[in-house]
Amino acid sequence: MTESGVSRRGRRRLRRRTRARIRRALLVGLVVGSLLLAGSGWVAFRGWQARAHLLNAAGLARELSAQIVGGDAARAQRTLAALQEQAGAARDATGDPGWWLGQRSPYAGDDLGAVRQIAIAIDDLARRAFPTLVRTDLATLVPKEGRLDVAQLRAVSTELADVNAAVRETRTRLDAVPTTDLVGQVRTALTDLRAEIDRLAGLTGAADQGAKVLPALLGVDGHRTYLLVSQNPAELRATGGMLGAYAVIRADNGRVEIVTQGSAVDLRRFDPPVATLPAEMRRLYTDLPAIYPADVNLTPHFPTAAKLYREMVRLRTGTTVDGVLAVDPVALSYLLAATGPVAVPGGPKLAADTVVRTLLSDTYRSMGLKEQDAYYAAAAAAVFDAFLAAKVDPKAVLSAFDRSIAERRILFWSARSEEQRILGESKVSGILPERETVPSVGVFLNDGSGAKLGYYLKPTARLTVGECQGEGRRQLRLRFSMQSSAPTSGLTRSVLGAGKAGDPYTVRTLVYVFSPAGGAVIGARLDGADTALGSGTERHRQVGVANVEVPPGATRTLDVDLLTGRNTAGTPELWLTPTATPWTTQVVSAPSCNQ
Tally of domains within the chain: 3
CATH number of the domain where residue 546 is located: 2.60.40
Both 185 and 236 in one domain: the answer is no
Same domain for 445 and 390, yes or no, is: no
Q: Pairing between strand 507-514 and 573-576?
A: unpaired
What pLDDT is attached to residue 17?
57
pLDDT of residue 48: 56
For residues 68 and 261, give the distance between their C-alpha atoms in angstroms, rounded to a whole number: 38
Residue 139, judged by CB atoms within 10 A of its CB (0-12, 13-18, 19+), counts as middle
Q: Which among 195, 217, 239 is the end of a domain?
A: 217
List, for residues 116-150, the tens digit of each pLDDT value.
888 888 888 888 888 888 887 766 667 777 777 77
Shared domain for 498 and 568, answered yes or no, is: yes
* pLDDT score recorded for residue 24: 43
Regions in the chain scoring below 50 on pLDDT = 1, 3-4, 6, 21-43, 45
CATH number, domain with residue 295: 3.40.630
pLDDT attached to residue 369:
73
Confidence (pTM)? 0.81
Among 307, 238, 227, 331, which residue's Cα sits nearest to residue 545? 238
Q: Is 21 contained in some domain? A: no
Q: Is residue 594 part of a domain?
A: no
User: Are both 349 and 240 inside the same structural domain?
Assistant: yes
Is 267 in contact with 316 (CB distance < 8 Å)? yes
Rg for the chain, CA atoms, rounded:
31
pLDDT in tens, 34-92: 333 333 444 454 555 666 777 777 777 778 777 776 667 788 899 889 988 988 888 88
The reply to whether 18 falls in a domain is no
Helix (H) / strand (E) containing 184: helix 184-217
Q: How many CA atoms lie within 13 A of 235 on its CB side?
A: 20
3-state SS class at 474: strand
Which of 217, 232, 250 terminates a domain? The answer is: 217
Domain hosting 310: range is 224-421
Rounded to an integer, what distance in angstroms lies between the CA atom of residue 415 and that of residue 410?
A: 17
pLDDT of residue 7: 56
- What is the number of alpha carbons within 13 Å of residue 228 lying toward its C-beta? 22
Nearby residues of 238 by Cβ (< 8 Å), 6 or more positions away:
297, 298, 299, 300, 444, 445, 446, 512, 577
Peptide bond into 272 cis (omega under 30): yes
Do 288 and 277 meet the contact criterion of CB atoms below 8 Å apart?
no
- DSSP string of 313-373? HHHHH----SEEEEE-HHHHHHHHHHH--B--TTS--B-TTTHHHIIIIIHHHH--HHHHH
401 and 467: one domain? no
